[in-house]
Structures are given as C-alpha cells and as structure tokens.
Amino acid sequence: MNMNEVLATIATQKLGKKVHPNDHINMSQSSNDVMPTSMSVAVYLESAEKLLPAMEHLVQVIQKRAAGLQHVVTTGRTHLMDAMPITLAQELGGWASQIRKNVLRIQSALERVRLLAIGGTAVGTGINAHPEFGKKVCVILSRQLGAPFEQNDNLFEALSAPDAIVELSAQLKVLAVSLMKIANDLRWMNSGPIAGFGEIELPALQPGSSIMPGKINPVIPESVAMACARVMGNDVTATVAGQSGSFQLNVMLPVLVDSTLESLHLMSNACTLLADKAIAGFSVNEARIAQLVGRNPILVTALNPIVGYEVGAKIAKTAYKEGRSVKDVALECTQLTADELDKHLDPAKLTHGGIAH
C-alpha cells in the first residue's frame, strides 16, 4: 500500500491530474499476487545473472587446474585412511562434476521459478483484473528484464504455495553441500605444513595467528564453509516458510525471499572466492605427494588378482609395520619378479583401473 501511495503521488505530480493509489495504481492487482510475482522475479534474476555465471566460472577454473595436474599421482583416501592412488586431475575432476550437476539442478528449478502469480489478484480467481492482464505483464517483464517469464497456469497454486522457491532453496543447499566438501578437501590437502598432509599450499592472504609467527590459515575455504552452513540453515527457514501457507495465501513470503536471496548472494560470492582466491592459485608439493604415494602399503591391492587377498593383507601389514616398501616385502612373500612388481605397482597405471594379470 505504501508503494502505491508513493507511485500515485509521483504520477499525480508528473501528470497534473489526480492519480489514486487503489483505483489507478493498484488496478487489476493485489498485494497477494504482486508480492509472490516480485519475489519470483528477484530470485530468478539473482540466480541467472549472478549465481549461475559464478558457478560456471568455478567449473572453468577447476578444469583449468585439473588439465595441468594430470601427471600428479596422489594418495586416494577413504574414511580419511590411505587408499588406492588417483591423479590430482581426477580428484579435481570430481569437484568440477559436482558443480556442473548443481548448475543443471538450479537451471531446472528456475524453469518453475519463472512462472509468475500476477493476474491472480486476491485469491487466485483474478477478481477485478482483466483476463489478459497477467499474461501481458509477463510479456512486458520478459522484454524489459531479458528473462522468459510466463504466467503460472494455476494461479491458486501460485498464490498459496511458493513451492518453486522452496525447491530452489533446496538446490542451493545441495550446492552448499558440494562447496563445503570441496572446501574441506582443500583444507585437508593444505594441512600442516609439517604435521599434516602438506600436499598443496593455498595462497597466503593474511597472517593466521596473533601469537604464533608465520602461521597461515586456509581462510577462504573456512569462510566458504561458514557461508555453506548459513545456506543450509536458510533452507530450513525456507522449508518452514513454504509449508506455512493457509488455504489461499502464504503469509511467510517475506522470510522465504529474504533467506533465499541471502543464500543466492552467499553462494555466488563463495563460488567466486573459492575459484579466484584458492583453487586458481594453490601450489602443489609434488615431492611430498610422491613420497606419501611411495610409502602407501595399500598399493598391494593391485596384486590381489595375482596373489590373493590374504597374501596381499600380509604384505601390506608387514610393509607398514616394518616401514618397508610393498615391493620389497612382495619379493619375499611371492614368486613375482622385481620387473613384474614394478609393472603391477606403478601408481600411475593404477589410476586407470582394471585388473592386473
């Protein structure tokens, strides 16, 4: 109502004739269809113009880094325990795939966000509105904003159930889950540099401690993780708001759009910062990575098809207990030659999968 009054005052001044806030400005409209329409437009534009480009940028940065790391074989980890080797390119490729699939999820949700409630007026019947009003408004909005808005084919749903926004919020939560996973991987890889993994070094952006000189913390992955936590909480808010509609109207749209727009803002910034301030600039400690791979007793897994699980387990335990290489122990415990073991235990070859024979 306040907006109608402001617009009526401006129009009256410019036209030199009395413009009424209800009879003229609010003609064919109700706050019950204007508010959800405005919400959908705002969320759609924030997603299409800011979030999706930021996600695509993150994918491109990850892929560029992966292309230059295909030769680096690192230790795979499951349960945070040493596992079979993979390349850093494969590891980063998994990240890129996560974000690409998130792009598809959000694009899918936007197909429903773009369907607007305008024309439903008070309760969805379109009372006091021209039958073509809603459709014509969508045409104008699409032309002016460069987005494919259409009138929802069921205005009762559009007014009472903001399911499309709730769905988008859920997809933002999935993106937050993916980004937190990537951020935590980076933190682990960067840990140390002496007592941790020390496989990469993230760009140093600020001093890490007021008492420990020289300490540098992974502030970008940490800030991304906190943004992700906030988005996960916002999705709970969106869920409660979405299910709080009663009959023909949902009265919790303000908190729904506020939480969703905040999530969009946080995820857009998180993608950009993670790409530009962390992934694009980290350095790789290839010597450290090679050292860890060479000492990994789990490499014996490649010998399972040849020597069997029990012999393989004995080799791995002995190698770990005595601090020896798998190859040295296998030479004692099997009939395999040094050349055969070199062939089967080559970490680079093991990253391609398949069965040894």
Annotated active-site positions, please? 79, 209
Tokens 């601090």, located at residue:
323
- C-alpha span between 110 and 97 (Å, rounded): 20
Strand segments, DSSP code E, in 170-288 are: 200-201, 283-284
Q: Enumerate residues 6+ apart whose C-beta is below 8 A from 193.
A: 201
Burial grade of 248 (CB within 10 A; 0-12, 13-18, 19 or more): middle
Q: Peptide bond preceding 193: is omega within 30 degrees of 0, i.e. cis? A: yes
**Closest-CA residue to 179 (of 224, 213, 223):** 224
Is residue 62 within 8 A of residue 185, CB to CB? The reply is: no
Is residue 164 within 8 A of residue 170, CB to CB? The reply is: no
